[in-house]
Amino acid sequence: MNEVTLNNGVKMPILGLGIYQLLGIKGREAIEEAINIGYTLIDTAQMYNNEHILADAIKSSKENLGIKREDLFITTKLFSPSRSYKLAKEGIKESLNNLRTDYIDLMLIHEPYREALDMYGALEEAYNEGIIRSIGISNFNIDEYLSFIDKCDIIPSVNQVETHIFHQQKELWEVMKEHGTLMNAWSPFAAGKNNIFQNEVLLSIGTKYGKTAAQVSLRYFVERGIVVIPKSSNKERLKENIDIFDFELSDEDICRIEKLDTKKSLFGWY
């Protein structure tokens, strides 16, 4: 798996599996299948209520496939019940217990809560203690990001935000790049909105390379150094999503995809 280097030197896979709504036995089996196929980055969150399911999948993968914990890169996120320094410290312990691990590769503040700086202080402490290898934020816009890094001690390694061909977040990407924070795209397929899998531009480009619209979309962001975490529980789609490292988009392809950017969110909850 191709990797990117975070601002603290930690290597992070550039493509992984988002496990939002992957629950129960089927969720565990989907995660195991992804690990079996070759996924090493798995993205969860306390809010998703499936950290323990990921732990089960990791345990099973070790027993059945010989996959070690250190072979994987696990991201999770603190959310609203942890909205203070003290509660965030307890939240970190909770995630460690749920994941049944003694360290977390990347932990994020899930949203720009009013108490985000206090919560981040707990992450900084855990980072300095070696409990968390990298720390970051999620769903911070430009103004929120710039205000945050002006006050925190450790520049976030990652800001995970809505990023897809219809909302490419170029301005935010440029600002974060200047300060050393990597962009991590959640919902890189826009949850199937705007008929993305049948988009004529993506299909046309894909025809040249023998790739699908989904693969072209992922490739576009990977070539910009943006980490993508598409979700799927389908074995064939899992294989398809990871099979994007044997072609390269042309300048013309990139120009056509850039024109698809509406600069607007497709999700109304933030």
Chain-centroid distance, C-alpha 251: 26
Residues 136, 126: Cα–Cα separation, whole Å: 12
* Three-class SS state of 4: strand
Instruction: Yes or no: say if 250 and 154 are a contact pair by the CB < 8 Å rule.
Output: no
Are 182 and 6 contacting, i.e. CB atoms less than 8 angstroms apart?
Answer: yes
CA distance linking residue 106 with residue 5, whole number of Å: 13
> Whole-angstrom Cα distance, residue 141 to residue 175?
10
Residue 110 annotated as lining a ligand binding site: yes
Map tokens 């300048």 to a residue: 251
Q: What angle do CA 23, 21, 126 make, to 5 degrees?
A: 90
What CA–CA distance (Å, rounded) separates 205 from 213? 8
**CB neighbours (10 Å) of residue 141?**
16
The active-site residue, picked from 48, 120, 145, 220, is 48
First to last CA, the chain: 32
Let me know if 48 is a catalytic residue.
yes
* b/e code 61-99 from CB counts within 10 Å (16+ = b): beeeeebebeebbbbbbbbeebbbbebbbebbebbbebb
Rounded distance between C-alpha atoms, residue 77 and residue 51, angstroms? 10
CA atoms of 215 and 197, how far apart (whole Å): 10
- Residues at the binding site are 110
- Residues at the binding site for substrate are 110
Which residues does the annotation mark as catalytic?
Answer: 48
